[in-house]
Amino acid sequence: MPAIKLPHILLLPLPPPATDLKIITLLHPRTLVPTRYLIHPAQGLHEITKLTAPSPTPRSWLLTPPPEPCRPPKWLGNGQILQDGSIYICTPMDPIFVLLPRLFPADEADAIDRFLPVGDLFEELTKEGEGDWELVAKSQVAEKRLAAVCESVDVGDGKAYKPSREKLMRVLDEKCVRMAKGGLPASMEEGFIRKPLIRPIAEIMAEEAEKKEGAGRVKELEVRSVKKKENRDGEGAGWGAAGAPSEAVPTPPDLQATRPWLSEASQEVTGLLRIRVASEFISNNYLSVSIAEALSDSLQKSHDFTPLDDYLAELAKIRQEATAMRLDDYPLKRSLEDEEEIVDRKRKKGEGAAEKKQKKSVSRATKELQKADKTGMPRLTTFFQKKNAEIL
């Protein structure tokens, strides 16, 4: 393989003071795997996400020089084609996430339980070494975010901080609510909110309707799914980070208009489910297991999920009934009994074949004999006794 490094297409935050951008390696807050992040001198930490076209639709890049004014573009000769059609996107990320595993370790014994000035706190956090923590620590944003999850006391000219779980939970809670407010990104809305909340009858109707709409729609969905992906990845980091230019831009749930059945679930239930999905999303992507558990508990306390749980339980019941009903109507799927029947039939077939073979090997005279009228003829065993000992 040639050692030439192919360029990557990277979408950078604006404006690009190119020289000041740095790519650093930090431990991923969820997996603790070394992961690359982008540091912007003003906007702080950025997450890098790779977007790849779905495998059935291969894509590649065609790079051309910027078109010069007044001249027809020269396409040939100056361009470059990259086989890899993926694009890397940098999205702002709350730096607090990368600090969390150290601020709030799973083992309580390792937790920092005294007030420390910012500098010392960062030192404490980064002393175990791996990763380029200094750059994170230096940024203004980091200190603000740190303050958000710590109790603070004034010490002389500065402040001292101590990590506080309560504050962290409040922050994360806020993040979930903000993400849920106004609807999740379209693909998440579709998969995690709309589908689980549809009533089965409506589902059947919808399926039929969708069938009618046909293939054109499928295409549309594909296009949308690509967009959604981008949206979501942007979204993942979009909320929260103070000073981040993009506040969470929720995709307006325009689907609701065309899909009336969603309105069956009350706004309250939908909202609760959104919060729950948002918390799951954040937990799965940015939080360590112990913090995720704590978040889930804290959310249970701060929000009353009972209406949602009741509604979901009811749906599950209806769905089960509907499935049973449909099975009765159209026994398309093989039940266990059917399978047994099939096995039976196969066995019978096998037996039949064996019987046929035997029949074939039986001579005509034998068949004639078997047809003989044997009424009134007792078996020979009534005349002759069975011998116990062999003749041999």
Partner 1 sequence: MGQINVHSHSLSGLFSAANSRLKPGMLLLEARLEQAGVLKKVVDAIKDLVQDCNFDCNDSGIALQAMDNSHVALVSMLLKSEGFSPYRLDRNVALGVNLTSLTKVLRCAQNEDILTLKAEDTPDNLSLVFENAENDRISEYEIKLMDIDQEHLGIPETEYAAAISMPSAEFQRICRDLIQLSESVSIEASKEGVKFSCSGDIGSGSVTLRQHNNVDKPELSTKIELTEPVALTFSLKYLVNFCKASALSSVVTLSLSNEVPLLVEYAMGSGFVRFYLAPKIGEEE
Interface residues with partner 1 (CB under 8 A) are 361-363, 365-366, 368-387, 390-392
Which residue number, 223 or 377, has a Cβ lying nearer to partner 1?
A: 377
Quote the radius of gyration of the chain (alpha carbons, Å): 35
Minimum Å gap between C-beta 342 and partner 1 is 32
Query: Shortest approach of partner 1 to residue 366 CB, angstroms?
Result: 5
Closest CA to 99 of 40, 25, 26: 26
Helix (H, G, I), strand (E, B) or coil at 191: helix
The residue among 109 and 389 lying less far from partner 1, judged by its C-beta, is 389
Question: Which lies closer to partner 1 via its Cβ, residue 71 or residue 386?
Answer: 386
User: 38 phi and psi, to 5 degrees?
Assistant: -110, 135
Q: Which residues contact 224 (CB under 8 A, 6 or more apart)?
A: 186, 187
Q: Closer to partner 1 by CB, 306 or 385: give it.
A: 385
How far from 133 is each of 123, 207, 238, 329, 378, CA to CA, in Å? 9, 52, 22, 63, 102
Question: Cβ closer to partner 1: 330 or 384?
Answer: 384
Instruction: Quote the least distance from Cβ 367 to partner 1, whole Å.
Output: 9
Nearest to 96 by CA among 290, 232, 240, 234: 240
Question: CA-based angle 203:206:210, to the nearest 5?
Answer: 140
3-class secondary structure, 34: strand
State the minimum distance, in angstroms, from the CB of residue 351 to partner 1: 18
Q: Provide, rounded to whole angstroms, the least separation between the CB of residue 56 and partner 1.
A: 57
The least CB distance from residue 371 to partner 1, in Å, is 8
Nearer to partner 1, 74 or 357 (CB): 357
Separation in Å, CA 121 to CA 116, 150, 160, 296 = 5, 11, 9, 27
- Min dist CB 359 to partner 1, Å, is 11
Q: How far apart are CA 197 and CA 261, in angstroms?
A: 9
The SS3 of residue 322 is helix
Q: Between residues 77 and 378, which has the closer beta carbon with respect to partner 1?
A: 378
Residue linked to tokens 């029947």: 341
